[in-house]
């Protein structure tokens, strides 16, 4: 519609009006995993995807802009690794600056030993979301058919390079545990041994051979991204936790994922910003977990990351200045990898310059400034020349908000 309007304006010899960002969504739901026993499959994703689609339609998303890859859902293609990455690549080529892309995932995940040069959890593991064709090769014992945090991060980097805002909503988790739970719940998250994986033999030096998930996603010569990647992330749980889905619906069309239900309930309150949506989602999520009377040890801690103060679905503007602060440990910036900072970046404020040394997802520590008279305040970023190998703006762990502990 937007491109057609532009063409009509040009043909009529009139100026092209300023047009609002368009909204798109990729909804992925993986219920069946043929490489696993049926008792490890999930039932919820085939309910979650249609429910999320209905919620986005109510938010003004055009039906033609919503792509569903889910098994057991009418009109949806199979959620295989190749189909998911191909659709992300298509969005990377067709979406325009200031468009918004919702990336929703409902399904199992697991943690695998991390590979050198890619993002890992503090426990040396890498997150993998299981597509329908996920399996462990009987000969190499390598995981295939999964979407790793590196895959997703590279795809989001390519979209951010085109100034597309990505809103990631992940109702999945990665901790080991039985699939069937208590209190009328099933738990999402598998042990890697459930797929038949075992550690590599000593002859490989304890290092896994590269899996297909390590393939790069080309950016097709896209322009450099803005200083702060256009990214919002809502995650059902931290990497070492599990999330839950209900075994039954309370009414037709209801989602099964407990976090997905909370996301949809939050949207129905018409939040003005992502922060407001995160806040009300957190309330609904906590209420649902309270109703199940789950012990504290079994409760997932949701993660909300990115520039949450932005207006919901609106085009984002990247901050040009970064707040340099000082604490008992030294100088720092309360932004990190999720905001595009990397080791080697420099922050300049007047005659003072700080260099970024250590970067976590929500914070960057700075070397002492070259000017003894330096003071805290807003600084301009001078990006490092090159990014470290495997660097990405996204992993399935981020800054925690709404009173949740770091």
Q: Please enumerate in sequence order all residues whose Cβ is within 8 A of that of 126, keeping only pairs 6 or more positions apart, or say none.
A: 111, 112, 113, 114, 115, 118, 119, 120, 148, 149, 150
Instruction: Confirm whether 90 is domain-assigned.
Output: yes
Q: Are residues 338 and 189 in the same domain?
A: no
Question: What is the tens place of the pLDDT at every residue in 230-268?
Answer: 689 999 987 667 788 888 888 899 999 999 999 999 999
Residue numbers of the domain that contains 192 = 23-306
Q: Is 92 helix (H, G, I), strand (E, B) or coil?
A: helix
What's the predicted TM-score (pTM) here? 0.68
Give how far Cα 362 sits from Cα of 196, 395, 398, Å: 35, 12, 7
Q: Which of 256, 272, 306 is the last residue of a domain?
A: 306
Mean pLDDT (whole number) for 21-41: 90
Q: Would strands 352-359 and 185-188 be described as parallel, antiparallel, or unpaired? A: unpaired
Instruction: Confirm whether 233 is domain-assigned.
Output: yes
Whether pLDDT at 281 is above 70: yes
Express as a percent the part of the chain with pLDDT over 90. Answer: 38
Instruction: Confirm whether 336 is domain-assigned.
Output: yes
Provide the 10 A C-beta neighbour count for residue 319.
Answer: 15
pLDDT of 21 reads 75
Q: Are residues 329 and 275 in the same domain?
A: no
Q: How confident is the model at residue 77 (pLDDT cuts 50, 70, 90)?
A: very high
d(CA 32, CA 79): 10
Whether pLDDT at 58 is above 80: yes
Whether pLDDT at 397 is above 50: no
Q: Are residues 350 and 281 in the same domain?
A: no
d(CA 61, CA 55): 9
Instruction: Work out whether the CA dihedral 272, 273, 275, 279 comes out positive or negative.
Output: positive
Q: Are residues 287 and 373 in the same domain?
A: no
Q: What residues form DSSP beta bridges with 10?
A: none
Q: Half-sphere exposure of 133 toward its Cβ, with a 13 Å CA cutoff?
A: 13
Whether pLDDT at 103 is above 70: yes
Instruction: Confirm whether 281 is domain-assigned.
Output: yes
Q: Are residues 222 and 325 in the same domain?
A: no
How many domains does one find in the chain? 2
Instruction: Confirm whether 112 is domain-assigned.
Output: yes
Q: How confident is the model at residue 20 (pLDDT cuts 50, 70, 90)?
A: low
Q: Are residues 300 and 340 in the same domain?
A: no
| Crossing angle between the packed helical segments 258-268 and 274-291, to the nearest 10 degrees | 130
Instruction: Confirm whether 9 is domain-assigned.
Output: no
Q: Are residues 112 and 168 in the same domain?
A: yes
Question: What is the tens place of the pLDDT at every residue in 150-163?
Answer: 888 888 888 887 88
Kindly state the tokens that stand for 312: 């919901």
Instruction: Confirm whether 399 is domain-assigned.
Output: no
Place of tokens 């009328």: 184
Q: Are residues 331 and 297 in the same domain?
A: no
Mean pLDDT (whole number) for 300-305: 87
Question: What is the tens place of the pLDDT at every residue in 312-358?
Answer: 998 765 445 778 999 999 999 888 876 677 889 999 988 999 999 99
Q: Please enumerate in sequence order all residues whose Cβ is within 8 A of that of 321, keeping only pairs 6 or more positions apart, or say none.
A: 378, 379, 380
């Amino acid at each position: 519609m937007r491109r057609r309007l532009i063409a009509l304006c040009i043909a009529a010899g009139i100026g092209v009006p300023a047009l609002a960002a368009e909204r798109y969504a990729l909804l992925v739901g993986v219920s069946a995993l043929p490489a696993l026993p049926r008792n490890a499959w999930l039932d919820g994703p085939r309910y979650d995807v249609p429910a999320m689609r209905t919620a986005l339609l109510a938010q003004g998303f055009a039906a033609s802009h919503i792509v569903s890859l889910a098994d057991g859902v009418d009109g949806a293609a199979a959620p295989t690794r190749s189909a998911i990455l191909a659709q992300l690549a298509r969005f990377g080529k067709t979406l325009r600056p200031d468009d918004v892309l919702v990336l929703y995932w409902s399904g199992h995940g697991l943690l695998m030993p991390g590979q050198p040069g890619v993002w890992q959890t503090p426990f040396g593991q890498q997150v993998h979301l299981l597509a329908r064709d996920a399996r462990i090769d009987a000969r190499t014992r390598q995981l295939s058919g999964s979407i790793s945090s590196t895959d997703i991060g590279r795809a989001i980097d390519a979209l951010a390079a085109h100034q597309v805002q990505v809103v990631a909503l992940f109702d999945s988790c990665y901790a080991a545990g039985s699939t069937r739970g208590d209190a009328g719940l099933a738990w999402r998250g598998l042990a890697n041994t459930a797929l038949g994986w075992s550690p590599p033999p000593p002859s490989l030096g304890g290092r896994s051979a590269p899996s297909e998930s390590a393939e790069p996603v080309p950016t097709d010569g896209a322009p450099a991204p803005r200083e702060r990647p256009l990214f919002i992330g809502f995650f059902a749980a931290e990497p070492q936790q599990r999330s839950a889905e209900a075994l039954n619906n309370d009414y037709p069309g209801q989602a099964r994922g407990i976090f997905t239900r909370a996301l949809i309930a939050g949207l129905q309150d018409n939040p003005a910003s992502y922060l407001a949506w995160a806040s009300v989602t957190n309330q609904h999520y906590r209420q649902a977990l309270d109703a199940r009377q789950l012990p504290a040890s079994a409760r997932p801690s949701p993660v909300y990351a990115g520039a949450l103060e932005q207006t919901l679905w609106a085009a984002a503007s990247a901050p040009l200045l970064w707040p340099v602060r000082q604490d008992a440990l030294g100088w720092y910036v309360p932004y990190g990898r999720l905001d595009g900072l990397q080791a080697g970046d420099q922050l300049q404020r007047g005659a003072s310059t700080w260099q970024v040394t250590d970067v976590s997802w929500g914070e960057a520590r700075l070397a002492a400034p070259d000017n003894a008279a330096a003071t805290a305040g807003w600084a301009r970023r001078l990006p490092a020349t090159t990014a470290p190998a495997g660097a990405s703006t996204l992993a399935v762990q981020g800054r925690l908000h709404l009173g949740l502990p770091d």
